[in-house]
Amino acid sequence: MKTFSIAIHGGAGTLVKGLMTQALETKYKNALKTARDAGFAILEKGGSATDAVETAVKLLEDTPLFNAGKGSVFTAEGTHEMDAAIMDGKTLNAGAVSLVTGIKNPVSLARDVMDNSYHVFLAGEGAMKFAEEQGYGIESSEYFYDEVRYKQWQGIKDSDTFQLDHSVKKDGKFGTVGAVACDQNGNIAAATSTGGMTNKKWGRVGDSPMIGVGNYANNKTCAVSCTGSGEFFIRGVVAYDVSCLMEHKGMNLEEASNETIHKRILEINGDGGLIAVDTKGNIAMPFNTEGMYRACKSSDGKEEVSIYK
């Protein structure tokens, strides 16, 4: 039987050991483990990589610990604008949504764009109209409220400052969640979801929902989900860059992932990390920051839940 595997992330950034309480660290690790294991259970039963990544990301969206879904940060207007993407490496079908509000699980809406529309990327009012037609309920703003995120916003509200989750502080991180998986048939998939930047204006969109930038999957090469300084990841077309290095330079998954994160993105002053799998079930989780919330599990016995370097 082929090796099957899953990897997930909950954001990268200035995660310095010792600055987080033991209780909070345990909470983060438990949340990562729960999401990882739920995705892995689907793979174990012979389920698809696409189902596995959607399930894992939904669980990460449902916890306020991460800047996606329930724990999304506040915009300059005091609202929550969320983005998500999903891609199937076998068919190259993909779905993405941006600037959606009140949607409990944006990744599932992205999945519906992929499965139930002729399009790839829907944004704003149009994405909300599609959600309504698909039977989505709209959660109240109270559902998305989180005290930590609110205080974060209050600190820079009414200014021209914005921040990636709380990246300017020592416990800061780029709050995106994502999952990549390889199933028993050797098919791969990727999913990514985010609440974006605190105090963001003008309908700013980061890398997360952009196919080939923050999220990409192709059975020829790899599946990738990114987390980092979105503007730089957009300029570097990061997820597709990893795939290109494998396809055109003949690099393996680890070499291509490291080249992108430890060299190419740094050359344009970008920081962050990514998770990736290939069709053999290999996993890579490089990052060039102090830490990255991450976890993985493979049928060959590899298992990890980590935060720091």
Residues designated catalytic: 176
User: Can you say whether the dihedral through the CA atoms of 265, 91, 10, 309 is positive or negative?
Assistant: negative
In DSSP terms, 223 is beta-bridged to: 217, 277
Residue 114 makes CB contacts below 8 A (sequence gap 6+) with 86, 87, 88, 93, 94, 95, 120
Total Cβ atoms within 10 A of residue 301: 7
CA dist., res. 232 & res. 214, Å (int): 11
CA dist., res. 181 & res. 140, Å (int): 32
Using CA atoms, how far residue 200 sits from 25, 99, 197, in Å, is: 28, 11, 5
CB 5 within 8 A of CB 179: no
